[in-house]
Structures are given as C-alpha cells and as structure tokens.
Structure 1
Amino acid sequence: MDRICLSVAMLPIAKELGWSAGTQGVIQSAFLWGYLATQLLGGTLADRYGGKLVMGAGIAWFSLASALLPAVAITPWTAAAGLTLPAVLAARFLVGFGEGVALPSMNNLIARHIDPSKKATALGAVFTGFHTGNLVGLLLSPLILQRFGWRALFYLFGVAGAPLLLLWMLVVPGRAPAGGGGGAGGAGGIGLGQLMSKPATWAIIVANFVNHWGYFIYLNWMPTYFYRVLGMDLRASSLMSFVPWVVMAVGSSAAGLLADGLVRRGVPVLRVRKGIQTAAFLGPVVALMALANPAISPPLALLCMTAALGITSLGQAGFVANMSDIAPRHAGVLFGLCNTFGSLAGILGVSVCGFVLERTGSFSLIFQATAALYVLGTIVWNVACRADRQF
C-alpha cells in the first residue's frame, strides 16, 4: 500500500505542483532507487539473522518513511528553499529502502520453513498477499484522497505499519524447526562472483529483469493510463486499475498450486519451471500488442491489461521458485542479487515510460518494447534455466 498510493496521489500532486510526465516518471522511480539499494543487503542479513527480524525492521522503517512525503518533502519551507523535488525524491527513496528487504526476507523464510514439495504453493500465497496490498491501496486511496486530501493518504498508510509490525512479530516463526524446511538454516556465506558464475543464475536475473520492467510500469503508470489515455476520472481510473491486480493475486496462488501439483504427478521440475515461465512471458505479448493500439476501447483495454498482469503472475512458480531450486541454502542472497537487477529494470522502465509519454503522448511504444522484452526473456530462460541444485 505504501508504494502504490503514490500512483494514485500523483495525479493531484502533479497538478498542484505542475510536474511534467517526465518528472513524474523520475519521482515514481525514486522508490526503486531505495528498493534496489537493500536487495543484496536484505538477502545477506536475512540469511544470517533470519527473515523475521530483517522484515520486522523493514516494516518499521518504511512505515515511518511513508509519512515523510507530506510532513517534510512537500511543505511551504521546502518550496521556499526550492528543494521540493529533491525532498520528494529522498522521501520516496527511503520508503523503497525499507521495502527492499521484504522479498529477500520472504524467500529466506520459505527456504527455511517450507517443505520443498510445497514451495511454489507457499510462494503463490505470499505473492497473493503482496498483490492484495496493491488492491487495498488502489481501493482505499481514491476514497481517502477525495475525502481527506492526498496528504492523509501517506499518514494513514504509515500508521497502518504499527499493527502490521506487531502481528508480524507475534505470528512469524524466528527459527527453522529442527530438520525442517528447505535446509537453509545456518547457511555459510557465498560470494557474488560464485553465484554469478552459473548460467542458471543468469537465467533468473534476465527473467527477473524482464518481469520487473513490465510489473513496475503497470504498478506506477496504470492509473495514469486509464486517466490520461482513456479519459477516466481519478476514482474510475483507480477502480479500473483494481481489476487486473485482483486477477494477479488469484493467479499467484493458482500458479503455485499448479506447479506443485505437476511436480507431485511426476512432471520433472525443470519442465514445470520452463513451461510455466514461458507461459508467463509469452501470454501477455498478444495483450500488450492490442494495448499498443491508440484507438483501443476502454473495455478491451481493461481486458488486455487484466490478461497481461494475470498471466504474468504465473512467474511466481517459474523464475521465483527456481531460486530455491538452485540455491536452497542461499535463497535470501540469491533473491537479493536477482532482484537488484529487477529493481534496475523497474527504475529504467518507469523513468523511460514518463519521458516517452511526455514526448509522444502515448503508451504505444512502451507496450511494444515490453512485449519484445518478454520474447527475449523467454528465449534466454529456456536456454539457461536449470532446476538441480547449483550452490
């Protein structure tokens, strides 16, 4: 919720401050600068101290940082000093810095506590919760914004971190049970050079890069697409953006159940990982090419956006699950490494999208480029993916 609320609030904030589409893209990407900075750090700390403690610290950090945007960054004092834009970038960087430890910590916890035969299902459930945060944010943000103003949005979502942190510390186990999980407990250190020496790691890195390029464009620009291209108002654009995330949340769980079910039926893990990830990449290509048509109707645009996000969610049982296939004792740091490249893709995609939109007034080129990346990612994945333990 803390990261998606800006995609809704950006519309009135940009109008208030006179930001161009290019500036909006840079601001949207600032979250990812911080997110990138703590991927490797979060994974290394999670493998050393456990995902529970690292994630708990992250929740406290990003909840406090969320309130900085209205409290510190966009104020009469920063405006008088000409520092509004740098202060906004810094505030969003700090939110991303706290949230960057989340997924490496999650991957560490699953590797430590979940039986390998149920790993994809567990990942699917986790990502369903992850996407549900986007759903709640998109549902509540326009209501809060219209009633209390955009500043209240960041204060309320920041305060929501307190009960979340309490629940996390009470419910999540701190240490792996004896002899349980994926055997990640007590993992020794591993160098980045060693991790990056295997083609299997690069398959995941490329898949992560391609996936995150599309994901963060959808996440940050979808309300603007519905508002600017399809002519919807703020509330309608947020609600239209809500539907694809519902399908993505459901698809994440379905992908995990499907993958684990196939493995239990005797389908080789490598075939499952390759097949599911291939579908996750090639499925959205047709939808994106339809979205590239500037004359697309709103109902068809919603259908295509929903298809693109829903099918992409299959990747939770593809490249994401593959990380603990090849490195069960180093799942946190491997996730951090691969997600560093993914975060870089997000920064590039979100920023480039803003500048392309400013220059052309259209999302067509962005949708076409994303479709091409999906095809490239499919080729690399099928050539280099492995499912046996590499580290």
Structure 2
Amino acid sequence: MCLNNRSLVFGRAKGVLDKRWSTASLRHVRGASCRRIFVVSAMTTESSKPVMRDQDAVVLGCGLALLLCNVCRIVMAVAIMPLTDQFGWSPSTQGLIQSSFLWGYASTQLLGGSFADKLGGKKVMSLGIMVFATGCAAFPFAVGAAQTFLTGMSGGLILPIVLISRCLVGMGEGVVMPSMNNLLANFVPPASRARAIGQVFTGFHGGTLLGLLISPFIMAKYGWPVLFVIYGSLGIPLLALWQRIVPSPPEVEGESSASKDSTASAVRMLLSKPATWAIIAANFVNHWGYFIYLNWMPTYFNKVLGFNVRTSALYAFLPWLIMAGMSYVAGWTADKMVNSGMDRTTVRKTIQSIAFLGPSIALIPLVNTTNPSVALPCFMVAMGCTALSQAGYFANIQDIAPRYAGRLFGLANTAGSL
C-alpha cells in the first residue's frame, strides 16, 4: 500500500528523513530529482520545545474537534427513535434521514482537502466547526418553525427540513478529516505519526461514547430538541480554544508546490498512482462497516434484541469504548514496530489485513442469533479490529503524500462516503 520512493516523491527525498523530525527545522532546497525537497534535520536543543508544544496542540485540538464532530453525528442515531415515534417515519424514511448526512459529507471531502493543502488545515477546520455546529443547533428550531408557522404544510415540510439540516451538518464535518490530515502531516514527525493518529481518533470515538452515554438521559429529561441545541452550542467554546492553541502552518521559503498545484492537476497525479487506489479501496471497505455501526447499532439493539432506547444506547456504548481504546493501542504498536526497524510498508499492510479480516469473522454469528450475550462480544471484537485501520491505510496517507495529505484523504473519504 505504500508507494516506492523510486516511483513517486511527495515532497520528501529518499533517505533524508531523520526520526527526530521537526517542522521548525525545515530547510528549503532545490534538487535534481524533484522540484522541491524538504530536508529535515534533528532538533535536540532548547529550540525544539516550542515545536513539541505545537505538535501536542495540534493533536489535542484535532482530538477535541473530532470528538464534537462525532457527537453531532451520533445524535441522530440516538434521536431517530423518538423522532420516528413523533412523526411516524417508516424504516425507509429513517434510512433516508441517516443517508442525508452522507450527502453533505461526501460533497465537501475533496474540496476541504484542497483548501486545507492550500490555506492550511487550521482555517478550513475552523470553518467546518462553525458549519456543523450551527447545523446541529439549528435543527430543532427549523423543525419547530415548520410545525408552528406552517401548520397546514408541516407534514410535508418536516422531512425536507430534516434532510437539509443533516446534509448541512455533513457538509461541515466533511472538511474536518482532510484538515486533520493536513495538520498532522505538517506538525507530527513520521516516527510518531501512527500514535498521533491513534490519539486523535481516541477523541473521535470518544465523541461517539459521550453521545451514546449521555444522550438518552438528556432526552428522557428534556426531550430530543435540547440534545441538538446542547451539542451544537459546544462549537462556540471549541472554536475559541481551536483558534487559541492550534498553530498556523509552518513557514517555508516561498510557496510550496502543493499549494500552487491546481486541484485538478493534483487529483490527476494522485489517481495515476496504484497506492492511491489501494487507499481508496481500503477506505471504502472500512467506511462500509463503520457507518453501519454508527447509524444502526442502537436501532439493532432496540428492534432486534428488544431493548428500550436508553438500554440500546448503553449497550452500543461498549463496542465504541473498545474501539476508542484500540485506536490508541494500534498507533502506539505501529510506531513501536516501525521504530524497532520493521519495514513501514509491512507494518501498515499487516495491521490493515487484521483490520479487515477480524470484523468479517467476528460478525458472522450475528446472522443466527438474537442473544445479547453473543451479539455484544461480536460487536466488540469487530469494532476493536476495525480501529486498527487508523494505523494501517489511514497512517499510510501521510506516509506517502505529506504535501497532498488533505487532497488524498478527501479523495479516499469521498469514495468511502458513497
């Protein structure tokens, strides 16, 4: 899955990367083998401390952004049950509502990646937070307005309003992952990259955990509208913290060729490489399972296993807890393996193979069981294995294309969202 240095150089020269990589020590040079090469030297003096603070700030900021991102995403998976009872939606309508998020999510992936590579992930992530938080908080007000002021037409307007609102949330969240990839590629050294991705995704899955854990209690006491308002309003302090702690892209001599390249030419170049197609295929397969877990697991526990809304959400909590923990373990393990001398390509492929085979085996017993004591462990094993992908194909994106990390992830995630 990794590209050979002889076949493609994405802003790095073969053999010049030191494991003690630091963005503050970038020196811009020109070479015969590629247009622009960043030679990186080690930093062992006191001047390296601000860089480490930048690296930690990026990981913390991205982790919190992805946490809220997933809270605003998972809220509909929990609220869909009382909303269905209130508005009488059929299973096909519920599926349409869950899919509407992905319409917006897929539409901004490549666009977000392109702007992140050109303008920096910090700015694009800020815009994404504003959009998805606003869409989440505004959802109950839009539905309420349809019921209150358009009484005669409310039955016909509520569904389109729900679809538009969730699509807007998806559009905002669609730029988050490409922006995160751009930031990690700029600020995190290759020797620590899988671990950083694991830490960020611990926050990502932590958002799912938080949403599943507290949403049923908030809904039981205050109703589903308050749920959306609370989660959306958290975008305000998050955005303030993001602007304060996350550094701007590192300055280098001149403008990087990645920012000069047009989106069309960059995409053509990326699509000409077999490794790009391998990452796209891996992302598609990974997301196929992931979105089923995300959108339908509480409904599965409710409809198939017969639990109430609160119990369904709490049961769904446990597999996500395993996934969050395995995200960190996978990153730490992968970096240990690479730093011990194992070939990076072999590490990525081995971990990704386990991430694919594990869930396919673990979920087979669900075909013939309605026993919670069987179903729950199956989900836990499957989702724990799925989390390994973050140290597999996901980390490989930044391995092979640090200068185009936003665009490459945008391409892969567009396919994964279809």
- Shared fold per TM-score greater than 0.5: yes
- Cα pair distance change 1:100/1:119, threshold 3 Å: same
Correspondence for 2:228 among 154, 158, 174: 154
In the TM superposition, 1:162-181 aligns within 5 A as 162-176=236-250
Partner of 1:80: 152
Q: CA RMSD in A?
A: 1.6
The two structures have a TM-score, normalised by structure 1, of 0.84
Shift of 1:240: 0.5
Does residue 191 in structure 1 map to residue 261 in structure 2?
no
Partner of 2:170: 96
SS in 2 for 1:279: helix
Shift of 1:79: 5.8
Give the gaps of 5 or more residues in structure 1: 345-391
Separation in 2, partners of 1:241, 1:176: 41
Partner of 1:61: 131
CA displacement 1:182-214 (0-9 Å, x = unmatched): x98964424212111111111000100000010
Separation in 1, partners of 2:115, 2:151: 38
Partner of 2:381: 307
Shift of 1:328: 1.4
Larger Rg: 2
Shift of 1:78: 5.2
Does residue 285 in structure 1 map to residue 360 in structure 2?
yes
The two structures have a TM-score, normalised by structure 2, of 0.79
- Cα pair distance change 1:79/1:297, threshold 3 Å: farther
Correspondence for 2:118 among 43, 48, 52: 48
Structure 1 counterpart of 2:287, one-letter code: H
Shift of 1:4: 0.2
Give the gaps of 5 or more residues in structure 2: 1-70
In the TM superposition, 1:1-391 aligns within 5 A as 1-74=71-144, 75-76=146-147, 77=149, 80-81=152-153, 82-176=156-250, 187-189=259-261, 190-293=265-368, 295-344=369-418
SS in 2 for 1:292: helix
Structure 1 counterpart of 2:354, one-letter code: A
Separation in 1, partners of 2:190, 2:150: 51
1:73 and 1:91 in contact (8 A); partners too: no
Separation in 1, partners of 2:274, 2:181: 21
Shift of 1:299: 1.6
Separation in 2, partners of 1:184, 1:268: 29
Shift of 1:141: 0.7
CA displacement 1:235-255 (0-9 Å, x = unmatched): 100000111111111111111
Structure 1 counterpart of 2:103, one-letter code: W
SS in 2 for 1:67: helix
- Cα pair distance change 1:325/1:187, threshold 3 Å: farther
1:287 and 1:308 in contact (8 A); partners too: yes
1:113 and 1:177 in contact (8 A); partners too: no
Separation in 2, partners of 1:186, 1:173: 19
SS in 1 for 2:417: helix
Structure 1 vs Structure 2: percent identity of aligned residues? 53
Separation in 2, partners of 1:113, 1:47: 13
SS in 2 for 1:272: helix
2:304 and 2:370 in contact (8 A); partners too: no
Separation in 1, partners of 2:275, 2:137: 40
Q: Which runs of 4+ in 1 moved over 4 A?
A: 183-187
SS in 2 for 1:191: helix
Separation in 2, partners of 1:203, 1:147: 47
2:279 and 2:393 in contact (8 A); partners too: yes
2:119 and 2:259 in contact (8 A); partners too: no
